Amino acid sequence: MHNGCPDAYIAVHGGAGVHGQAVGKDVRRVLRQACSRAMSPFPSLAMVESATIVLEDDPALNAGYGSSLTLDGTVECDAAIMVGKGQRFGSVGSVPDVKNPVTLARAILEYSSKADKLGRVPPLTLVSQGASSFAKRVSQSSSTTSPKPELVSPPSLISPNAKAQYDKWKARLDDPAYHPPPLSPHFGAFPDTVGAVAWHPKDGAAASVSSGGLLLKLPGRMGEAAVYGAGCWAQHEGDNIANPSVACSVSGTGEYIVRASLARVVGERDIDDDGSTDPHRILQTILEKDFWEEFQKEGEPNPSAGVLLLTREIDEEGKASVRLWCAFTTPTMAIAYASPNHPKPKAVVLRHPDVCNSRHLSDKPRIFITAIPL
């Protein structure tokens, strides 16, 4: 990879949702920038963190600066990061005053990897003011070599567009006379959670996820981006980075993704497969049977999810091959990637033709799946 490791791979996503042409252009730009930042000579954990920082800093995306606002008009962010070796994990939920939540999630991962002198079990997740207090403690410490979380004033995370969308939809929520047409765009269709997946020969697979959550969510609501096994997953067969590996980052409706443990289920089924079923079939089965049909039974007409999956497979001759998979139930999902064969980052807004061209709702599973050789 240019300016980095020749055997490293990175892919990022800008969320599953509805990307118009104008929005799609901005999103593709920042996704390419995220891949370029990650192509520096970092191991995979730092690759996904650095890529996600770029995504969090751009107001075109729903993470960090520019996050969707809560019912009270404030920003509350969720983020997680995971590395396959040892399956180390760290996450934050409902944090209101950290510039890059993914960096705080990594700080929790690093903290949790060290033995406690009293034998206390270290946390996987910190939320709200507890997360902010930990961020302040880490930022003032001289003992860590990892990037330090930066605390900021909560209003500084509110972008003009996020405020405009809040004002528009809050007024509609408060207006007893407002009733949205059945097929009109709604706040749940906006691009959601962002994330990254990577593989590096030093530490194998890693994944990250970051989100501002649903527009007008209740304060304190924690989505899939903070939950172990829901928003991201990284794993190696036998915990050996030389073996088959997966890294997965998920976007969509958080409550459903949490209940489905979507990232973990996708990752574990791919790793546990004996080679008789390819990732396409695994993704199709999980999104159709375990996700779409399951939540339609509960009255959700269009369960929303998007999966970015990086797989590293080993053939019978011991040769490794890396592929990128993207699957989603929404009209669009934006992704970008870079690899030894594609050192210049490539970004694309994938569009589901059946959904984008449809003028009516359907109870049939609307799942788009594609594979990209890296």
Hey, which residues are catalytic here? 193
Residue owning tokens 């008009």: 73
**Torsion sign across C-alpha atoms 347, 194, 112, 242:** negative
CA distances from 238 to 10, 141, 183, 235, 272 (A): 23, 35, 48, 9, 10
Using H for helix, E for strand and C for coil, what is the string for 166-208?
HHHHHHHHHCCCCCCCCCCCCHHHCCCCEEEEEEECCCEEEEE
Rounded-to-integer distance, Cα 146 and Cα 130, Å: 20
Rounded-to-integer distance, Cα 308 and Cα 265, Å: 13
Residue 79 CB coordination number (10 Å):
36
CA distances from 146 to 106, 153, 270 (A): 8, 23, 31
Query: Which residues in 146-175 are b (16+ Cβ under 10 Å) and which e?
Result: ebbbebbeeeebbbeebeebbeebbeeeee
Q: Read off the tokens for 158.
A: 């509110």
Contact 136, 151 (CB under 8 A): yes
